[in-house]
Amino acid sequence: MTEVTELSRPEGEALDTKEVLLNLGPQHPSTHGVLRLVLELDGEYVARVDPHIGYLHRGTEKLAESFTYTQIFPLTDRLDYLCPPSNNLAFALAVEKLLGIEAPIRAQYIRVLMAELARISGHLLITGALPLDLGAMTALLYAMREREMIMDLLEMISGARMHTSFCRVGGVREDLPDGFFPKIREFCDIFPNRIRDYERLVENNRVFLKRTQGIGVITAEDGIDLGLSGPNLRASGVDWDIRRDEPYEIYDRLDFNVITRNEGDCYARWQCRVEEMRESVRIIEQCLEQMPEGPFQIDMPTIAFPVDKDKVHCSMEALIQHFDLSAYGFKVPKGEVYSAIEAPKGELGFYIISDGSAKPFRMKVRSPSFVNLQGLFGTSNAHYLADMIAVLGSLDPVMAEVDK
Amino acid sequence: MSVETPLNLILITEHFGNAIDDLGFAHGVHAFAAPPQMIVELCRFLKEHPALRFNFLSDICGVDHYPEVPRYEAVYHLYSLPNKWRVRIKCRLGDPPRVPTVTGVWRTANWHEREAWDMYGIRFEGHPDLRRIYMWEGFEGFPQRKDFPLRGYKDELNPFGAEGPPPTRPDLATKNIP
């Protein structure tokens, strides 16, 4: 503590400044969850940022080692809770590769359809939340209205609004319900116009533009070096989408564009997501057109529950198999697999080592948000404290996925 | 999934000879085994060779093979954005596990390595900021090791944990990281 305050300084001597530590979060609305940033401030400029994560760490990977493969699906739901169907899909694909099986075509269409619905739902939140963080509240309210339609559709398919757990190894849990097609067609008709509404709410909002355009620029080299993926990297001009470059499921049958922007700023990241929603609607429409009739689950009683329950009721072997599968799960051959999909946030990879038992020996989740959050270190011109909020919002981390 | 062009293995095997093992191609990923002292050189070679260009580090993952010896493993997943290839490098580590950091090759390795340190106690030598990332400072033990109980150790905050104090290992203390 200084007792004497000097009012005037000797001429020619610079002001005595010192850096201030500011704690942002973990309970702060603009940190999108329980993220804590320790900011070193030089006046109003951010000199250094140190994210502290782990407030939501639930030990998903450790838990998975004591669960059977089917039991892990609900755990994956809780990674990126805005778009659980994508997480389910990523995990199912990894296990299917180890087993050397493929889901029936209809199941693949259903999964892709749900994953794209989830992508829209995840992107809708950030479409509204970034303007909200920067003071434009209206967009979020409209975005939530459309998100409700998606929630209704997901509820119709699976019975759950958020944690759907609808994928199974070798297919999906059930077939699509009656009356689903008209509902989703209605959504596909309405939604593209609504996207235009969000854009119109924001594109003439001078405050929003001033606070996002040219702010938080991440160059393509920095983005790759920092491991960014998904829309965050595409906004920096890197044309990479796992759906197109390493097609999984039936994405090679679908026609869609990969959205890129060259600016690499907060606005470009926001725009990329809005454009991607349009592409997702196109993908959903194609899925609806192309979806064939057929089984929704693989016909392997050792891996998937039989669709025809009569067998279980009449045959001893089928009953034993059914009991075995529900009580002990199925065994997965020894081996290891890394399987990545294009989740809404970026590359979502599951690395599974199997020791031949019914539980994974090691399951590693390469969660996109965890890596994308490192983008905070790559922004070249986010100088002000207020810019930090814009950068954080535009990187779109979901803390449940960051902390696993 | 499938690769468009097969990875040119000769480039890698010629440069490194017997120092690295080829574990073959499975499920879209080509795997190699390398000793810890080769990791940085191998990663740099894969990243900078004009015909390979593995410029994207997807993931670094720690594995505990308890009770096997050598017990630990660091697994690196690399992706080549121009060529759309994936490569896995597996690196077995003794006890205590030590491996040079690859933060000099990719900055993204920073948090992946912090995670592996936090969960498995793999010490990445030369890492600029090797702190715990999920668990709090002062937490004892490495929770994802196979000998760490699923519910943790019993204390006043965790009445359902396993009995006994967590094993303290002075050589792996979280403080005084080099």
What pLDDT is stored for residue B20 in this prediction? 83
Q: Is A225 on the interface with B (CB under 8 A)?
A: yes
What pLDDT is stored for residue A112 in this prediction? 93
A374 to chain B: which residues are within 8 Å by CB? 107-108, 110-111
pLDDT digits (tens, 9 = 90+) for A230-274: 999 999 989 999 998 888 889 988 898 999 998 888 899 999 999
pLDDT digits (tens, 9 = 90+) for B91-144: 998 888 889 999 989 989 999 999 999 899 898 988 888 888 898 877 878 888
Extract the runs of DSSP E, i.e. beta strands, from A201-326. Answer: none
Tokens describing residue A344: 């809404």
Q: For tokens 């502290």, what's the residue?
A: A52
CB B162 within 8 A of CB B151: yes
Q: For tokens 């995840």, what's the residue?
A: A122
A91/A358 Cα distance (integer angstroms): 15
* DSSP one-letter string for A188-207: HHHHHHHHHHHHHHHHT-HH
A351 to chain B: which residues are within 8 Å by CB? 59, 61, 75, 77
Does the distance separating the beta carbons of B133 and A53 come in below 8 Å? yes
Q: Mark A82-105 as b/e (b = at least 16 C-beta within 10 Å).
A: bbbbbbbbbbbbbbbbbbeeebbb
Verify cis geometry, omega within 30 degrees of 0, for the bond prior to B96: yes
B63/B75 Cα distance (integer angstroms): 8
B151 to chain A: which residues are within 8 Å by CB? none
A335 to chain B: which residues are within 8 Å by CB? 26-27
What pLDDT is stored for residue A381 in this prediction? 67
**What is the least distance, in Å, from the CA of A224 to any CA of chain B?**
6
Least confident of A3-17, A165-179, A180-194, B71-85: A3-17
CA A339 to chain centre: 16
Using pLDDT thresholds of 50, 70 and 90, give the confidence band for residue A276.
very high
Edge-to-edge strand order for the sheet containing B21-26?
B21-26, B29-33, B85-93, B72-80, B56-64
Q: Count the Cβ atoms, other than its own, within 10 Å of residue B135.
A: 17
> Which amino acid would we find at residue B120?
Y
A404/A68 Cα distance (integer angstroms): 18
**Nearest CB to B81 within list A53, A57, A240:** A240
A359 to chain B: which residues are within 8 Å by CB? none
What pLDDT is stored for residue A20 in this prediction? 81
Q: Decide: residue B50, CB within 10 A, 0-12 exposed, 13-18 middle, 19+ buried.
A: exposed
Using pLDDT thresholds of 50, 70 and 90, give the confidence band for residue A86.
very high
B132/B142 Cα distance (integer angstroms): 10
**Nearest CB to B27 within list A238, A339, A374:** A339
Mean pLDDT over A95-104 rounds to 91
Query: Is pLDDT of A382 > 70?
Result: no
**Nearest CB to B108 within list A226, A245, A338:** A226
> Which amino acid would we find at residue A329?
G
Q: Is A54 on the interface with B (CB under 8 A)?
A: yes
Instruction: Tell me chain B's radius of gyration from C-alpha atoms.
Output: 18
Q: Would you list which residues of chain B are within 8 Å, Cβ to Cβ, of chain A?
A: 1, 26-29, 55-59, 61, 63-64, 75, 77, 81, 84, 86, 88, 106-108, 110-112, 115, 119, 132-136, 143-144, 150
Q: Is A101 on the interface with B (CB under 8 A)?
A: no
pTM for this entry: 0.88
Does the distance separating the beta carbons of A349 and B77 come in below 8 Å? yes
Which range of A2-6, A345-349, B146-150 scores highest in mean pLDDT? It is A345-349
**What is the least distance, in Å, from the CA of A57 to any CA of chain B?**
6
Query: Is pLDDT of A329 > 80?
Result: yes
CB A78 within 8 A of CB A403: no
Q: Report angle CA A158, A163, A167 to the nearest 5 degrees.
A: 55
Q: Report angle CA A327, A74, A125 to the nearest 5 degrees.
A: 170
Q: Choosing among A55, A364, A365, A403, which should be mutated to test the B contact, i.e. which has the most B CBs within 10 A?
A: A364
> Which residues, at least 6 apart from B86, have a Cβ–Cβ distance to it below 8 Å?
A338, B3, B28, B29, B30, B58, B77, B78, B79, B80
Report strand pairing: B21-26 vs B29-33. antiparallel
Using pLDDT thresholds of 50, 70 and 90, give the confidence band for residue B2.
very low
Q: Choosing among A61, A97, A246, which should be mutated to test the B contact, i.e. which has the most B CBs within 10 A?
A: A246
Q: Choosing among B23, B29, B44, B56, which should be mutated to test the A contact, i.e. which has the most A CBs within 10 A?
A: B56
CB B69 within 8 A of CB B92: no
Indicate the DSSP class of residue A217: -
Q: Is A53 on the interface with B (CB under 8 A)?
A: yes
B1 to chain A: which residues are within 8 Å by CB? 246-248
Q: Is A55 on the interface with B (CB under 8 A)?
A: no
> Which amino acid would we find at residue B94?
G
B30 to chain A: which residues are within 8 Å by CB? none
Does the distance separating the beta carbons of B61 and A246 come in below 8 Å? no
A250/A264 Cα distance (integer angstroms): 30
B44/B104 Cα distance (integer angstroms): 9
Coil vs helix vs strand at B90: strand
**What is the least distance, in Å, from the CA of B16 to any CA of chain A?**
25
Least confident of A32-46, B9-23, B40-54: B9-23
A194-201 CB contacts, 8 Å cutoff, 24+ apart: A194/A142, A194/A146, A195/A274, A195/A277, A195/A278, A197/A142, A198/A127, A198/A128, A198/A139, A198/A142, A198/A143, A198/A274, A199/A274, A201/A131, A201/A136, A201/A138, A201/A139, A201/A142
What pLDDT is stored for residue A96 in this prediction? 92
Give me the residues paired with residue B30 across strands.
Answer: B25, B87
